Amino acid sequence: MAVNSSMEDEYQREVLKKNTLLRLLKYLLVYKKQIIIVLAVMLVTIAVSIVNPLLIERAINIEIPNKDVKGLLTLSILAIVLNILCVIGIKIRMFMMARISNHVLLDIRNELYEHIQTLSFSFFDSRPTGKILARIIGDVNSLKDVLSDSVTKLIPDFLTVIAVIAIMVVKNWKLAMAALILLPFLIAGMCLVQNLSHRRWQIFRKKNSNITAFIHENFQGIRVVQSFTAEEESLGEFDSLLEQHRKSFCDAVRLADGYGALIELTWGIGSFLLYFIGIRILGVGNVGVGTFVAFSSYLSMFWGPIRNLSNFYNKLVTNLSAAERIFDILDTEPEVADREPVKSLPPIEGRVRFDHVSFSYSDEPDTMVLNDVSFDIAPGETIALVGPTGAGKTTIVNLISRFYNITKGRVLVDDMSVEDVSINSLRKQMGVMTQDNYLFSGTIKENIRYGRLDATDEEIVAAARAVNAHAFIMEMEDGYDTQISERGVRLSIGQRQLLAFARTMVSDPRILILDEATSSIDTHTEILVQQGIESLLAGRTSFVIAHRLSTIKNADRIFVIDDGRIVEAGNHGELMEKKGAYYQLYEAQFKNIA
């Protein structure tokens, strides 16, 4: 199913819930030492809470009838000390557990982020950024409660239930049976409800992710939305997403609420049975008031945790779908990956060869975007790629950097197939400049240094000078230390291009891929940009998806691409003489641009 729209639900594999749970617990086990301390503290607090009713029973059955004030006082002091210890213990365990679960969330988020970085273009092509964000932020956040509750609630509640049952059975098994007789019904109800509930929470998560994707996409494109005055339509779509979200939440929560009522009912009937059987069948005289009071306390100590456990179970079912979504991404293998045995590409001269390359973005037949493309480029040559839109120019350059796996044929760099060398060693020697020229928030210097992280300040200035960016940078308030915001919105389009040139210049790649921006800029900046391009291209093998006549004319060879094939190749003069596809393109497109 398509996922590249905020209006569509993502496809998600059905995953065995038990596996998801075990996998989540593995993250907790990294902190087993701290968890052991939490559990030890917890055992003490549980023991104290279980002893409490026994103290009351003793007070009512023995000390009060015997009017033993000293005994009562001793019991009270003991109860106070134990309960203070219990409160301190609870605070310690809560603090420690909050820290552990926070660490686990960071670990998961880190692993997710690291993994997503390894995924190929095809992964990002098929998913809006908002949906990826929803998984890294929203889904990971919703695991927080499950993680901390699984240790701070699940284990103590479970232990409490076991301990209370044991004490009740030892003290009076008939009363114990009376109190617990409804438990099997509750468990059966829980099993019935959970499958349905899980599915509904899965739907809710998808709707949630659609909203994040929509908001992200809309704010990214806010300039387009506002300039086309499409706010109303946007709002309409958003309302519809909110409505779907509300409905999915209500569907899921209705089940959860119904289940909560069932627990309360079972608790009430359990208490009734305890008193009924105790008084009518066993007789108060046979049981003792103190024992009744103690049993009544145990009953709430029993049903309280049972209620917590089922709430936890509910939460688990709710959030397990978030965990599944996270693991779904972690299990996605990068389509483009190093092939074993992987070799590092040694420093290259810059020869590039396409050997009968065909390529399709999808697995479906008859969708070839490139058809049997072959060429051989000598080191240092500049190739201009021209052709109608959608012809396959970007696709050709994407394959040189191996952003996608080639469907048929081979791409060779210095006679080594790009599929046989490590992706890292290949891309390190390439400079890829798309029209996007993405700049990050930070200083100008940091943005240029992104090209090569160990570049010195002098190298950064030299690179900026070489591409004509130095002058405008020095005119800014803090020169190279001027802060720019995300995407460089404070800069003009021409300035952004010059900065992107400097960033590539500092990385000093042997092979340069440049998608020339088409946007028109003022004549002065245009001259600067043209000179910048010339300095960038000098001495490197360059592929330019060319839109400037000057670049095309200066290129050693021009490839005219049409329908995924090279239909003509040669320099400007040769192709003009030929009066073929290039000549027509020149007459139609390039003749009138300087």
Ligand X SMILES: Nc1ncnc2c1ncn2[C@@H]1O[C@H](COP(=O)(O)OP(=O)(O)OP(=O)(O)O)[C@@H](O)[C@H]1O
Residue ranges that bind ligand X, judged by CB under 6 A? 125, 361, 369, 387, 389-395
Write down the least CB distance from residue 391 to ligand X, Å: 4
Q: DSSP for 292-354?
A: HHHHHHHHHHHHHHHHHHHHHHHHHHHHHHHHHHHHHHHTPPPSS-PPSSPBPPPPP---EEE
Using the minimum distance from each CB to ligand X, give the nearer residue, 319 or 394: 394
Q: Which contiguous run of DSSP H or E holds residue 375?
A: strand 368-377
Write down the least CB distance from residue 243 to ligand X, Å: 31
Using the minimum distance from each CB to ligand X, give the nearer residue, 61 or 332: 332
CB-based burial, 8-31: b 16+ in 10 Å, e otherwise: ebbebeebebeebeeebeebbeeb
Distance of alpha carbon 447 from alpha carbon 500, whole angstroms:
8
Write down the least CB distance from residue 404 to ligand X, Å: 8
Write down the least CB distance from residue 515 to ligand X, Å: 7
Distance of alpha carbon 304 from alpha carbon 325, whole angstroms:
32
**Two tokens, residue 53:** 């009713």
For strand 483-484 and strand 352-360, is the pairing parallel, antiparallel, or unpaired?
unpaired
Write down the least CB distance from residue 395 to ligand X, Å: 3
Q: Which contiguous run of DSSP H or E holds residue 385?
A: strand 382-386
Using the minimum distance from each CB to ligand X, give the nearer residue, 185 or 438: 438
Write down the least CB distance from residue 197 to ligand X, Å: 37
Using the minimum distance from each CB to ligand X, give the nearer residue, 95 or 438: 438
Say which residue the tokens 């300087």 belong to: 594
Distance of alpha carbon 340 from alpha carbon 337, whole angstroms:
9
Using the minimum distance from each CB to ligand X, give the nearer residue, 238 or 361: 361
**Cβ 213 vs Cβ 130: under 8 Å:** yes
Using the minimum distance from each CB to ligand X, give the nearer residue, 335 or 587: 335
Q: Which contiguous run of DSSP H or E holds residue 156?
A: helix 155-171
Q: Give whole-number Cα distances, 307 to 260, 292, 317, in Å.
A: 8, 22, 15
φ, ψ dihedrals at 433, nearest 5°: -120, 110
Distance of alpha carbon 179 from alpha carbon 269, whole angstroms:
9
Write down the least CB distance from residue 414 to ligand X, Å: 24
Using the minimum distance from each CB to ligand X, give the nearer residue, 41 or 391: 391
Kindly calculate the radius of gyration of the chain based on its CA atoms and give it in whole angstroms: 35
Using the minimum distance from each CB to ligand X, give the nearer residue, 52 or 126: 126
Region label for 99, one of left (φ > 0), alpha (ψ between -120 and 50) or beta (otherwise): alpha
Using the minimum distance from each CB to ligand X, give the nearer residue, 109 or 127: 127
Write down the least CB distance from residue 523 to ligand X, Å: 24
Write down the least CB distance from residue 25 to ligand X, Å: 38
**Two tokens, residue 90:** 């609870």
Distance of alpha carbon 35 from alpha carbon 152, whole angstroms:
10
Using the minimum distance from each CB to ligand X, give the nearer residue, 12 or 435: 435
Using the minimum distance from each CB to ligand X, give the nearer residue, 146 or 383: 383
Peptide bond into 379 cis (omega under 30): no
Write down the least CB distance from residue 572 to ligand X, Å: 19
Write down the least CB distance from residue 397 to ligand X, Å: 8
Using the minimum distance from each CB to ligand X, give the nearer residue, 125 or 231: 125
Using the minimum distance from each CB to ligand X, give the nearer residue, 220 or 434: 434
Distance of alpha carbon 539 from alpha carbon 460, whole angstroms:
19
Region label for 456, one of left (φ > 0), alpha (ψ between -120 and 50) or beta (otherwise): beta
| CA-angle at 413, arms to 435 and 373, nearest 5° | 70
φ, ψ dihedrals at 484, nearest 5°: -120, 150
Write down the least CB distance from residue 398 to ligand X, Å: 7
Using the minimum distance from each CB to ligand X, give the nearer residue, 126 or 422: 126
Write down the least CB distance from residue 577 to ligand X, Å: 25
If one counts every other C-beta atom within 10 angstroms of the C-beta of residue 80, the result is 10
Say which residue the tokens 């959608």 belong to: 390
Write down the least CB distance from residue 366 to ligand X, Å: 13
Distance of alpha carbon 473 from alpha carbon 464, whole angstroms:
9
